[in-house]
Amino acid sequence: MQTPSVIIVLVALCLASFFFGRKRSETLALREGGYSSLHSLPKHYGYMAAAWAAIPALLILLVFTVSEDRYIQDAVIAQLPGAIQTLPAEQLGLYYNQVLGFAQGGIDGQELDETQLSAARYYQQLASQFSMVKAAGVFLAALIGCLLVLKGIHTRLRARNHVESIIQWVLFGCSFIAVVTTLGIVLSVLFEAIRFFQVIPLTDFLFGLEWSPQMAIRADQVAASGSFGFVPLLVGTLLISAVAMVIAVPVGLMSAIYLSEYATRRFRAITKPVLEILAGVPTVVYGFFAALTVAPFIRNLGESVGLSVASESALAAGIVMGIMIIPFVMSLSDDIINAVPDSLREASLGMGATLNETIRKVLLPAALPGIVGGILLAVSRAIGETMIVVMAAGLSAKLTANPLEAVTTITVQIVTLLVGDQEFDSPKTMAAFALGLVLFFVTLLLNVIALYVVRRYREQYE
Amino acid sequence: MSNPSSPDNTSLIRSSLKKRYARERRFKLYGLLAVLTGFMFLFVLLADIVIKGTPAFTQHFIQVTIDLDPDALGVAPGASAEELQAANFGGAIKRGLREMFPDVTSRKDKRALYRMISIGAEYDLRDLLLEQPELLGQKKEIWLRAHSEAGSYLKGQVDTELAEEDRKVKNNLIGWLDRLEAQGKTESRFNVAFFTSGDSREPELAGIKAALYGSFFTLMVTFCLAFPIGVLAAVYLEEFAPRNRLTDLIEININNLAAVPSIVFGLLGLAVFINFFEMPRSAPLVGGIVLSLMTLPTIIITSRAAIQAVPPSIRQAALGVGASQLQTVFHHVLPVAMPGILTGSIIGMAQALGESAPLLMIGMVAFIMDVPGGVSDPSTVLPVQIFLWADSPERGFMEKTSAAIMVLMGFLILMNAVAIYLRRRFETH
């Protein structure tokens, strides 16, 4: 039986368990003098029976589904002739995939030899046996679970509490997914990155000044290994982020000051949502805007004053990234400025300071730690931003601080290394995971520092 | 009591007042300028896209007299549908064009002439004949789709001032098109194909239907996973979680995940779902799972805020009449918090709809012509389609890209409008 049909039968079994459970509790209740003699409502007994039918059965189904492919693969390979079994892992994988494709009806058998055909038949036989066992195991578990509950039902059984504790565990499981996700991210990038660092030494990666991940196709080719120096990527990333900050911080901060201190309520009510549209625009749209409008504009502008500007200049990508981050800086600074106690503001105004003196000499110094925290969050945004730089920044890693030249970033390299066909074990793909690891930890560090600074700042005025 | 310096101070302050007020006005002006700069950026961005994208919603057709003679098409009179499938429609179109312009004789010019009509036109002609078999043997004036280059001239996008070798549309093509236009044999129509076909190598044939379906399936998977898990997690953290280290760990993780760059989720998807669990590449299923992990923090954080905002009196009343904690939450608290939760979820879904970086990682960048039929078919999504088109050098694709952006932004505005509507209703309660 296939997994979907197993699940359908299992759902039917659970429904049946629910009705039996409810019926059984009702029968017991009537025998002992009415529903009031039951601890819980009849439906709770039904839920309990259904839950006990479903949970063990689902666990068994999970175990079988996960182990199915590997078990069958090992068994099929084990009965292949010895000469084939000793093939290198890649060729054996290819060989087995042909068998698999034929057995599942994906390819026709004309290109396969006799051993493969018999292996395919063996595969089909094994697979059908395995799914029989799987279905039997699942149904048996469901039946046993259900029967145990049915047998255990008596009027004082605290079925509701039981069901509710199961549901609480489910709730806990849902929130624990966040931890599992983080763990998954760390493990998946770390695992590949460690394999990468076995090939390329960590110091070469961290301090190398050249990045050209083109690996040779043949081992005897000149320059057989690419160079994986991370410094040019870091410089490029920081350059573009710096340009973005030069745009986003003054505009965002001044807008926030104007809107919270000077603007009328109505002006603020209209302006803020409109500016926040900028935050809702998908990044791919910004990328298109940067690559096809801003970059040519800047190049023409540069040429008209006699500067040579690369067509994929860091300036174009940075400016557009800055536009994207404006609302982010604005709403963070707005929150921070509003958190400054009114007493400070009133004291300064009461002494006869003008509003701008109050803002510059009292509000901003008081809000400075919070604003710095907000800017750090914005920087982490800029470093992790992908689509704008993929579309508007360059591919070649150049070590330069000139924003008119083309530079590349960490995210651009991750995308170029991983998009398209590639074998999974080459240093090129593993390099992408190493970059991912760096990216994850740099942004994590920035966020942790920023959140800590902002929290300390808030606590100061609470 | 007299203070000798006091009149001095006053005059000092008075004399500086003008300067201080000027500075005040300047500062206010800077603030206003910053706000206006933000507005200007938004305006330029939107105007740029609308101006570039609007032409893509129309398409030019050229009227060609075509002889649907069975002999010339290479089929027998009264041919069956199957025979018609294989008929030589391309030849019929070329003959029609030659008859319209008998003065075109050289091979090179003829080839240029044929390029006036889209290669998709043969299939349109075939479909027309399959629909109305009685046309076979007749000579008829038929509107055919123009090639994207001819179309761009007819839309007035070609700068004829430019030297001939610098532009793709050559003088002979311009001459023919001008003649056709004078005869009233060109027509601009609403570009239906843009919404009813998948991707194509030819700009005039490319459409967003496949990408729209891909986006729809991906978002369905995302919603089905992220919404229940997010809401249940929020319920747990707000109503049941004990104050201990484990709960702190979960909260820290949620806050950090909200700030992890989206591309890192793509790496997770590639390493875990595709390489370890061997799920299909390019499938909305994997894309949806990755996006749901990415939107979970948003949904959890906004749902928690909505649950917090439910007045404690509702909880106390339910508990007071004997409801269990779980019944209180699911029967009384959640329904009140639902509009707020939905608002947050819609905003999370809008984020997921516009996201493309993690999907590049899991192979949703394939060239997809066919509309996907389910969550495990190879597909692409609207933002990735925009990314792919933006990379194409043809001018025709640039306007397609902008038009696809307009459609995407339309959906986002719609989703946000629904979210704002829900929030308004929620606030009045």
**Residue B5: predicted pLDDT:** 53
Chain A residues with CB inside 8 Å of B236's CB?
168, 171-172, 174-175
A331 to A255, A286, A336, B277: CA distances (angstroms): 9, 20, 9, 41
Average pLDDT score over chain B = 87
From chain B residues 259-318, the ones with a CB under 8 A of any chain A CB are 259-265, 267-268, 270-272, 275, 278, 293, 296-297, 300
Residue B226 has pLDDT above 90, yes or no: yes
Q: Could you report the per-residue pLDDT of A42-85, keeping only the tens digit for each? A: 888 889 999 988 898 999 988 888 788 778 888 888 877 777 77
| Long-range Cβ contact pairs of B277-283 (< 8 A, separation 24 or more) | B278/A69, B280/B376, B280/B378, B281/B362, B281/B363, B281/B378, B282/B362, B282/B363, B282/B364, B282/B365, B282/B366, B282/B378, B282/B379, B282/B380, B283/B375, B283/B376, B283/B377, B283/B378, B283/B379
In this structure, are A308 and A395 located in the same domain? yes
Q: Could you report the per-residue pLDDT of A256-306, keeping only the tens digit for each? A: 999 998 999 999 988 988 888 898 899 999 999 999 999 999 999 999 988
Contact B249, B345 (CB under 8 A): no
Distance from CA of A67 to the nearest CA of B (A): 11
Q: Do B361 and A444 touch (CB under 8 A)?
A: no
Q: Do A262 and B28 touch (CB under 8 A)?
A: yes
What is the mean predicted confidence (pLDDT) over A145-160?
86
Residue A405 has pLDDT above 60, yes or no: yes
In this structure, are A124 and A266 located in the same domain? no
- CATH code of domain B209-428: 1.10.3720.10
Measure CB to CB from residue B35 to each of A164, A258, A447 and give the nearest one. A258
Contact B351, B369 (CB under 8 A): no
**Residue B1: predicted pLDDT:** 46
From chain B residues 318-377, the ones with a CB under 8 A of any chain A CB are 324-326, 350, 353-357, 360-361, 365
Residue A220 has pLDDT above 60, yes or no: no
Distance from CA of B109 to the nearest CA of A (A): 33
Q: d(Cα B45, Cα A282) in Å, to the nearest integer?
A: 12
Rounded to two decimals, the pTM is: 0.88
Q: Where does a domain end: A122, A157, A192? A: A157
Q: d(Cα B211, Cα B404) in Å, to the nearest integer?
A: 10
Measure CB to CB from residue A188 to each of B249, B272, B297 and give the nearest one. B272
Q: Could you report the per-residue pLDDT of A20-44, keeping only the tens digit for each? A: 988 888 888 888 877 788 888 888 8
Q: Where does a domain end: A104, A138, A157? A: A157
Q: d(Cα A327, Cα B45) in Å, to the nearest integer?
A: 15
Read off the pLDDT band of B3 (50, 70, 90): low
Q: Is B20 on the interface with A (CB under 8 A)?
A: yes
Q: Do B357 and A411 touch (CB under 8 A)?
A: yes
Q: Do B253 and A251 touch (CB under 8 A)?
A: no
Return the half-sphere exposure (C-beta side, CA atoms, 13 A cut-off) of residue B21. Answer: 6
In this structure, are A260 and A392 located in the same domain? yes
Distance from CA of B260 to the nearest CA of A (A): 7
From chain B residues 173-212, the ones with a CB under 8 A of any chain A CB are none
Asked, for residue A242, whether it belongs to a domain, the answer is yes
Q: Do A287 and B405 touch (CB under 8 A)?
A: no
What is the mean predicted confidence (pLDDT) over B378-403?
88
In this structure, are A404 and A317 located in the same domain? yes
- Stretch(es) of chain B classified as CATH 1.10.3720.10: 209-428
**Residue A290: predicted pLDDT:** 93
Read off the pLDDT band of B63 (50, 70, 90): confident
Q: Do A415 and B357 touch (CB under 8 A)?
A: yes
**Residue A107: predicted pLDDT:** 67
In chain A, % of residues over pLDDT 90: 36
Optimal mutation site among A174, A311, A385, interface B, most CBs of chain B within 10 A: A174
Distance from CA of B262 to the nearest CA of A (A): 8
The residue to which tokens 């507005």 are assigned: B39
**Residue B150: predicted pLDDT:** 84
Distance from CA of A20 to the nearest CA of B (A): 23
**Residue A423: predicted pLDDT:** 60
Q: Where does a domain end: A157, A185, A209? A: A157
- Give the angle A186-B243-A461 at the CA atoms, nearest 5°: 90
Measure CB to CB from residue A418 to each of B48, B265, B361 and give the nearest one. B361
Optimal mutation site among A47, A62, A177, A319, interface B, most CBs of chain B within 10 A: A177
Q: How many CB atoms lie within 10 A of CB B91?
A: 13
Contact B284, B372 (CB under 8 A): yes
Give the structural domain span for A145: 3-157
In this structure, are A61 and A147 located in the same domain? yes
CATH number (domain holding residue A367): 1.10.3720.10
In this structure, are A273 and A143 located in the same domain? no
Asked, for residue A178, whether it belongs to a domain, the answer is no
Q: d(Cα B387, Cα A391) in Å, to the nearest integer?
A: 8
Contact A428, A435 (CB under 8 A): no
Chain B residues with CB inside 8 Å of A254's CB?
30-31, 33-35
In this structure, are A140 and A268 located in the same domain? no
Read off the pLDDT band of B203 (50, 70, 90): confident
Average pLDDT score over chain A = 86
Q: How many domains does chain A have?
A: 2
Chain B residues with CB inside 8 Å of A278's CB?
38, 41-42, 45
Q: Could you report the per-residue pLDDT of B76-122, keeping only the tens digit for each? A: 776 677 777 777 888 888 888 888 888 888 888 888 888 888 888 88
Contact A354, A438 (CB under 8 A): no
Q: Do B386 and A355 touch (CB under 8 A)?
A: no
Q: d(Cα B76, Cα B94) in Å, to the nearest integer?
A: 20
Residue type, A162: H
Residues in CB range of A145: below 8 A, 6 or more apart:
A17, A52, A53, A54, A55, A56, A57
3-class SS at B189? strand
Asked, for residue A396, whether it belongs to a domain, the answer is yes
Distance from CA of B172 to the nearest CA of A (A): 29
Chain A residues with CB inside 8 Å of B300's CB?
175, 178
